[in-house]
Structure 1
Amino acid sequence: MTLATKITASRLLAVPLLLYWLQSPTATEQWLALGIFLLAAGTDWLDGYVARRLNQVSDLGKFLDPLVDKLLVLAPLIALVELRVLPAWGVFLILARELAVAGWRVTPTLQAAGVPGANLWGKAKTGVQILAIALLLAPLPAPWPDIAQVSFWLAVVLTWVSGVVYLWPKSS
């Protein structure tokens, strides 16, 4: 297992911690969850950098990285539904897009052609998702909860836009 893949796998370890601290969180546990989330989100950039820099791009890494990214985003969103911070249907919109793109990536035709990398829309989606989740996890006073909600809905919109751009047939 390469160093880049180990970094990716370490991001997966954040998910159970997030879920544990978000069961019935105190303000301290929310801050801990936020810290772990941001640290794990930062490793997403790091594993890609290490893989390219050390020439450690691997099939396992290409498979694990997007999967772990989705788990890191969806776990706190689902916990926030349980805490009644977010509506389930909003999180479902993100989940549905992520499953559609993940399913598309494993189609034999796309596998033969090579899976395209993240585009500008995908990077914007990820950035806004991370921002929204961070704001939603942080126990901040008004007006921050409202800003967090707006960020979440912006993330939903960007998630769908990036999904349409990714799945829309490209003319050759």
Structure 2
Amino acid sequence: MTDVTDQDATDTGADRIVTVPNALSILRLLGVPLFLYLLLGPHADVWALLVLVASGVTDWADGKLARLLDQSSRLGALLDPFVDRLSIVATLIGLVARGILPWWIAAVLIGRELVLAPTLVVYRRRGLPPPQVLYLGKGATFLLMCALPLLLLDLAVPATSVVAHPLGWAALIWGTTLYVWTALLYLLQCYRTARAVPPHPSAPGHGRATG
């Protein structure tokens, strides 16, 4: 996941849309349905693995290029994490459908995103940007983005199973644990923000009954 934040983009005043990092994010976005088709349609596991690895490489590259080429943008700050999460969710669904992962692991990881999504409303109503990404959260994402290709490699190339299987499961277990832990940290941060900062009068939804 790229570490270009909304605040970074705002500070540079970058409203650009056509940039190399954004093009890479769009390419990754287009790779999501292609990956699912290859994995669930013809069961072309090696090709699906190559698409997944290419997605991980471009994910790393777009953040580096954004800084190297000075092409940070507001669109990139929103698009990149969205594609990251969509890619992880799609990969989880595909691996569960193929029987590679138990459904409850996918439920935990996807449920984490559903639980955290409403916290953005808390910040928006207070006129605040989303919280900075925790480095621990980046570590969790990195582990998951290593675990999922390794587990697919275990299926696609059985000769690698002796290495890919234990490494994939170790990365998955640690990544899932950190993913859940960082979710608790984000929820605590949101709770503290809600108590310390009153809703902004001009913010959307201010003054409405919440039920």
- Pairwise TM-score range, normalised by the shorter structure: 0.7 to 0.9
Q: Which of 4, 12, 18 is the aligned partner of 1:2?
A: 18
- Count of aligned pairs: 170
Q: Which of 177, 181, 187 is the aligned partner of 1:157?
A: 177
Relative distance call for 1:121 and 1:38 in structure 2 (3 A) is: same
What's the counterpart of residue 148 of structure 2? Answer: 133
Relative distance call for 1:101 and 1:56 in structure 2 (3 A) is: farther
What's the counterpart of residue 101 of structure 1? Answer: 116
Moved more, 103-112 or 64-73: 103-112
Matches within 5 A, 1:73-88: 73-88=88-103
Moved more, 66-75 or 49-58: 49-58
How far apart are residue 31 of structure 1 and its match? 2.1
Cα deviation code 1:31-64 (max 9, x no counterpart): 2222211111121222222223333322222221
CA contact (8 A) 1:104 1:110 kept: no
| Larger relative helix fraction | 1
What's the counterpart of residue 166 of structure 1? Answer: 186
Relative distance call for 1:72 and 1:107 in structure 2 (3 A) is: same
Relative distance call for 1:51 and 1:104 in structure 2 (3 A) is: farther
Matched, 1:145 2:178: no
Where does structure 1 lack aligned partners over 5 or more consecutive residues?
none
Q: What secondary structure is seen at the aligned counterpart in 2 of 1:113?
A: coil
Q: RMSD value over aligned CA atoms?
A: 2.3
Larger radius of gyration: 2
In 2: Cα distance, 1:109 partner to 1:59 partner: 16
Task: Compute the TM-score of the two structures, normalised by the length of structure 2.
Answer: 0.71
In 1: Cα distance, 2:126 partner to 2:152 partner: 37
Relative distance call for 1:77 and 1:100 in structure 2 (3 A) is: same
How far apart are residue 108 of structure 1 and its match? 4.4
Where does structure 2 lack aligned partners over 5 or more consecutive residues?
1-16, 197-211
**Identical residues among aligned pairs (%):** 32
CA contact (8 A) 2:123 2:129 kept: no
Tell me which amino acid in the other structure corresponds to 1:70: R
How far apart are residue 82 of structure 1 and its match? 0.8
Task: Compute the TM-score of the two structures, normalised by the length of structure 1.
Answer: 0.85
